[in-house]
Structure 1
């Protein structure tokens, strides 16, 4: 009981850190191109993840069959990082934080339904249609996407920021599918994925301007510290601990705090004022995620 009481404020802190990482990442792309920032972020994340593994004294052993999927997950993580920072170079941190974090569970649901249908068709069996709460949530998700992407403005709809943010969400969904095949402690998986992602980015070392970091100011390192250590190492560590104590369903419910945190912190850190369509889209997206991923599980 005491663990639960302590964990709830910690979960709020973790989601707040995740939300704050978006405007912090926006600050980072002011210093260098997305591919260089991606390399240094993965470098510091790998060090942070290694530190946690050593502190917790986790075994570095991993199932041989899982190595291939760890490499694929690492590749997707590297691509996600590139799309993530590329979107922030051209778009707003608040909108990106909302669009990506709300698109991932909705796109995951659509992909899983598609795979279920394909498998059922291959086996020649009939599957039940999704429950009404999930269908309702999917409709809300489509409507929220229309508001967040601003479908009334075709110039903004096909902007580079929106395209990169959507590609980032799709890449993360693919990453999740690969990571499910890895049999390992989540924190150890986080280290190996970060390490492989860093290796994929290693050719960046031969690019011009990659060592600008040695001349970067305090503002850069504070933003990197928040993105790489506080958000990824501390925030993700609390998240995995929450799964262990509260379970997957209750822990994932806290993810609904990330989009509003991203909007609020983008306002305070970058003076970004969200549009009315972004605010309404955020609210609808949160309800969509609730009805798709939480409501039915809660009933069970």
Structure 2
């Protein structure tokens, strides 16, 4: 009973982290509307990098990694910088609820496919069925049955590219997990992303603070501190207690926060295709993780 009570607080922690990540999509849209993708992308991770430093200190995170671990972290940081730009560029053109749902739902499916192709992951018949369901759900999310390849417009293409990039980041995180502490990994990724994004922000004078209004700064603080540092720390702490098997399912709470907050603040329409596609992706992840025969082949490492 005591163990269950202890676990319950971590379930609640994961729920809170996922909802905040969902609301971050709507908050990011506000940032993009009151600046531009380059400035928003820089400030998001710069604030996260600065505010995660005291967390690293108080958690006594070991700041060490081997050479391969550093390569993974640097590569992930570069990809996160790209994802960050795509995140804000997509929100400049498209809807926050749709973007949050598409990226969160499609990225896990792409991650599984990339794991099979790049890591030599063995899959069972059940997992093949799960991937098929997930891919069909992704097609519905992209509205392919009704609009064909209309998803290649600006409203959706940024989000699709962001999903591909995030799947790649997930693969790198899996590879790095045995070589570096998760919080150390997050610190380096935040730092690299901020450093890369500043070069694209410099032409827009990112440190001319008065040029950006209060709406931008409140949302920058929310995304940088709450969605960045606080939720990331909460995610890793909770994930370590409840297990990776259940962590993946929690990610499907993110679209709930994105859809509801975007409907509340921007009056965005909640489409049936969005709900159906997200639900099918959720079922796919549940089904994919429901078997214990998921294991890796012995293959030569990429790096």
TM-score by length of 1: 0.88
2:134 aligned partner: 141
- Return the alpha-carbon distance in structure 2 between the equivalents of residues 268 and 298 of structure 1: 43
Q: 2:185 aligns with which of 177, 185, 189?
A: 189
Check if 1:204 corresponds to 2:207: no
Taking only aligned residues, the RMSD between alpha carbons, in angstroms, comes to: 2.3
Check if 1:162 corresponds to 2:167: no
Unaligned runs of 5+ in 1: 120-126
Shift of the 115–215 alpha-carbon distance from structure 1 to 2, 3 Å rule, reads closer
1:31 aligned partner: 34
- Return the alpha-carbon distance in structure 1 between the equivalents of residues 28 and 99 of structure 2: 11
Q: Secondary structure at the match of 1:295?
A: coil
Q: Contact between 1:249 and 1:297, CA under 8 Å: does it hold in 2?
A: no
Shift of the 113–155 alpha-carbon distance from structure 1 to 2, 3 Å rule, reads closer
TM-score by length of 2: 0.87
1:124 aligned partner: none
Shift of 1:243: 2.1
Unaligned runs of 5+ in 2: 296-303
1:99 aligned partner: 102
Shift of 1:297: 4.3
Shift of 1:155: 6.8
Q: How does 1:40-51 map to 2 (within 5 A)?
A: 40-51=43-54
Q: Contact between 1:145 and 1:281, CA under 8 Å: does it hold in 2?
A: yes
Shift of the 97–298 alpha-carbon distance from structure 1 to 2, 3 Å rule, reads farther
Shift of 1:216: 2.7
- Return the alpha-carbon distance in structure 1 between the equivalents of residues 290 and 193 of structure 2: 35
Check if 1:56 corresponds to 2:59: yes
Check if 1:214 corresponds to 2:206: no
- Return the alpha-carbon distance in structure 1 between the equivalents of residues 154 and 271 of structure 2: 18
Shift of 1:176: 2.2
2:166 aligned partner: 172
Q: 2:241 aligns with which of 239, 245, 249?
A: 245
- Return the alpha-carbon distance in structure 1 between the equivalents of residues 13 and 280 of structure 2: 26
Q: 1:114 aligns with which of 111, 117, 121?
A: 117
Q: Contact between 1:260 and 1:282, CA under 8 Å: does it hold in 2?
A: no
Shift of 1:131: 2.4
**Deviation digits for residues 150-191 of structure 1, max 9, x if unmatched?**
122247321113211111111112222223343111111101
Q: Contact between 2:40 and 2:220, CA under 8 Å: does it hold in 1?
A: no
- Return the alpha-carbon distance in structure 2 between the equivalents of residues 58 and 295 of structure 1: 32
1:272 aligned partner: 268
Q: Contact between 2:34 and 2:215, CA under 8 Å: does it hold in 1?
A: no
Shift of the 212–296 alpha-carbon distance from structure 1 to 2, 3 Å rule, reads farther
Residues paired across the two proteins, number: 289
Q: Contact between 1:102 and 1:289, CA under 8 Å: does it hold in 2?
A: no
2:81 aligned partner: 78
